[in-house]
Amino acid sequence: MKAYLNRRYHFSASHRLHTDAYDDARNQAVFGKCNNPHGHGHNYTVQVTFSGQVDPMTGMVCNLADLDSFARQYLLDRFDHTNLNTLDLFRKLVPSTENLTIEVDRIFRAFPHAHLERVHVEETDNNSFDLYSDVTT
């Protein structure tokens, strides 16, 4: 029997939606207030969903301490209280929450103790983004 584990993590980060491929007027037209030259911040919530067999010895899909340690090292230490535009990842990529969600998915796919099913990133009360695992993998 497969069980599903959901775990939430929180971090604060700023960004500016802007691309060098557009001039200032086009950036403003496309990104609006999110193109503020000084950026703006969000309190992000990341929820990851993992699946796996329940271990008969521990009664768990995976050890939460292992997952939390992984999240601390690869997600929170990297993104919390950061301007996303300054990270190498976003030097040539617009740091939209869609692109951030793709990166969070890439990060948690490397967690070795359970299968990643879904990544959910909340940017605001009104905006959230989801990526689901490919059903063939």
Domains recognised in the chain with CATH numbers: 2-132 (3.30.479.10)
Instruction: For residues 76-93, give the mean pLDDT.
Output: 97
Q: Is the pLDDT of residue 135 over 70?
A: no
Average pLDDT value for residue range 61-73: 98
Does pTM surpass 0.75? yes
Q: What is the mean pLDDT of the chain?
A: 96
Average pLDDT rounded to a whole number, residues 57-85: 98
Q: Return the pLDDT at 133.
A: 83
Spell out the residues 6+ positions from residue 62 whose beta carbon is closer than 8 angstroms to its own: 5, 50, 52, 111, 113, 114
Which 3 state secondary structure label does DSSP give 48?
strand
pLDDT value at 1 more than 90: no
> So which residues are the catalytic ones?
34, 81, 123
Strand partners, 14: 41, 83
- Alpha-carbon gap, residue 3 to 1, rounded angstroms: 7
CA 34 to chain centre: 19
Mean pLDDT within 17-37: 97
The mean per-residue pLDDT over the stretch 120-137 comes to 86
Residue with the bigger pLDDT between 134 and 125: it is 125
pLDDT band at 137 (very low <50, low <70, confident <90, very high): very low
Predicted confidence band of residue 136 (pLDDT cuts 50, 70, 90)? very low
* Tokens found for residue 70: 């992984």
Q: What percent of the chain has pLDDT over 70?
A: 98
